[in-house]
Amino acid sequence: MDDDDARLVALIDDELASAEAKGLRERLASDAALRARYEALKNADPLIAGAFDTLLKGAPTQRLQAALASAPSGAPSGPRARWRDFAAGLAVGLVIAGLAAFAWRAAIAPGEAENWRTAVVEYVSLYTPETFAAFNPDAAQEAGALGALEAKLGGGLTPARIAIEGLRFKGAVIFEYDGAPLGQIAFAGADGVPVVFCVIRNAAAEAPLATEKRDGLSLASWARGGRGYMVVARLPNDKVAAVAETLAQRF
């Protein structure tokens, strides 16, 4: 969980002590990246309620319930508290995708995921054309979301370099897999089908572009410059490979 995100959500909820709130507002005045995260979390609050039930329909319910049951007894409850629990773990943008992935990673048993690609496939399998339908970030929001990923991953993640003809940027979020930062960038085409571009900074050995099929999802992955890359979508192999080939020329 990112401590800054937790404090930002507490500030939005007016739950910070006055001295801490004052200090955080002073940081917001001078830190553009922090201010972008604050705005993303603030704007996401009204949207989260409408998408929450849709995501949970496909979630691993029994494991999630077990994970929630093991939470500290003093943890707050209620819709607002549940939103804080998830939102505090999210980076700028892609709140809905982050919710699904964060919930899945919290519930997965140790050792169940053989590698980061398997972990990504598991949560992307929950996505539907409706998952990102309500999310249409503008250019400034896109730049802010990618800036947050760039700060963790490097590699030149800019709007121009990730742009794909026929796909619209829907958001970006940062996770961690086995101690390595893992970024997810989501797009959607005219049909709404999510197309996910993932980057992990894990000192991976160089590897050429390779494609495969898992659980109805097409994957295309490669590694370069100490980073692993993957494009995944519920689309034909050739379409996913074409997107990956375009991105592999840039990263």
Amino acid 115 reads N
The 10s digit of each residue's pLDDT in 189-199 is 999 999 999 99
Structure tokens that stand for 74 in this block: 């003093």
Q: Where are the beta strands (DSSP E) in the chain?
A: 168-177, 180-188, 194-204, 207-214, 217-224, 226-233
Burial of 4 (0-12, 13-18, 19+ CB in 10 A): middle
The 10s digit of each residue's pLDDT in 44-55 is 555 444 444 544
Question: What CATH number did the domain enclosing 167 receive?
Answer: 3.30.200.100
Structure tokens that stand for 192 in this block: 């709404």
Q: How confident is the model at residue 95 (pLDDT cuts 50, 70, 90)?
A: very low
Longest Cα–Cα distance of the chain, Å, equals 56
Q: Residue 81 sits in which domain range?
A: 3-248
The DSSP letter of residue 209 is E
Give the predicted TM-score (pTM) of the model. Answer: 0.62
The DSSP letter of residue 135 is -
The 10s digit of each residue's pLDDT in 159-205 is 999 999 999 999 999 999 989 999 999 999 999 999 999 999 999 89
The DSSP letter of residue 235 is S
Q: CA 171, 167, 163, 119 torsion: positive or negative?
A: positive
Q: b vs e for 67-93, b when ≥16 Cβ sit within 10 Å of the residue's Cβ?
A: eeeeeeeeeeeeeeeebbbbbbbbbbb
The 10s digit of each residue's pLDDT in 65-87 is 554 454 444 444 444 444 444 44
Q: Domain tally for the chain? A: 1
